[in-house]
Amino acid sequence: MSRYVSRLTAAAMAVSSLALGATFANAQDIAGSTVAFLMPDQGSTRYEEHDHPGFVAEMKKLCDSCKVLYLNADADVTKQQQQFNSVITQGAKVVVLDPVDSAAAASLVHNAQAQGVKVIAYDRPIPTAKADFYVSFDNKAIGKAIAASLVEHLKAKGVSSDGDVGVLQINGSPTDAAAGLIKDGIHEGLKTGSYKTLAEFDTPNWAPSNAQQWAAGQISRFGNKIVGVVAANDGTGGGTGSTPAALKAAMA
């Protein structure tokens, strides 16, 4: 899954750069501009390790004289609002925003546009406000592919779906509209098999520690009824795997 998401992330960053160029009437208008890149959390390592350096590299290709302001909200809605206002004060003409809370981000979009600042919704949609651009993946298709791959693996291993066995489903943050699309896709993917969903969980802030805590409780609850775990991203999946001994024993 890591390589799959990394390829999609690289593509999204490239399209973001094209979208940035399209916000200006002509090439010289963008020269020397300030662009903000605001990410939602550090629970997912991709933002620090891939998205940030990748976006800076793409921006350098697009506009060597432009300045990129990068900030991470650490899963704090209020902090992201403050960061958003700060970058506008610092002269950002474009804000690329991956919102902590998709609903709360609507007011940020409205405030920015009222000041002539363009907003690109990145990765996560902002359903109640019309950003100037939206750059993302097919989140529902990703969720379906993740779940279908688990079903295919279980079938290939000859794991029976008879009786009261089933899988655990770990979703993303309940404040992330993209996570809702991934969850819908996971539901569809699981329907490609006959394995029941024993329980599912919306992971606050996509935090691996929250996923780990929930999974540990389900291991105690279901024991060897668990035949697999489907997780919405590497971070939540890794959180589940942080108790491998207990999980392995439960599934034995």
Q: Domains, the chain, ranges and CATH? A: 2-135 (3.40.50.2300), 139-251 (3.40.50.2300)
- b/e sequence 40-69, b meaning 16+ C-beta within 10 Å: bbbbbebbeebbbebbeebbeebbeebebb
Q: Is the dihedral of CA 106, 112, 116, 122 positive or negative?
A: negative
Is the separation of the CB atoms in 22 and 54 below 8 Å? no
The pLDDT score that the predictor gives to residue 136 is: 86
Q: Which residues pair with 199 in a beta bridge?
A: 168
Is the separation of the CB atoms in 65 and 29 below 8 Å? no
pLDDT tens track, the chain, 252 positions: 444 344 445 545 655 676 677 676 665 677 888 999 999 998 888 899 989 998 888 888 888 899 999 999 999 999 999 999 999 999 999 999 999 999 999 999 999 999 999 999 998 999 999 999 898 889 999 999 999 999 999 999 999 999 999 999 999 999 999 999 999 999 999 999 999 999 999 999 999 999 999 999 999 999 999 999 999 998 898 877 655 555 665 565
Reported pTM: 0.83
The pLDDT score that the predictor gives to residue 3 is: 45
What tokens does 58 get? 């793409």
Diameter over CA atoms, the chain: 66
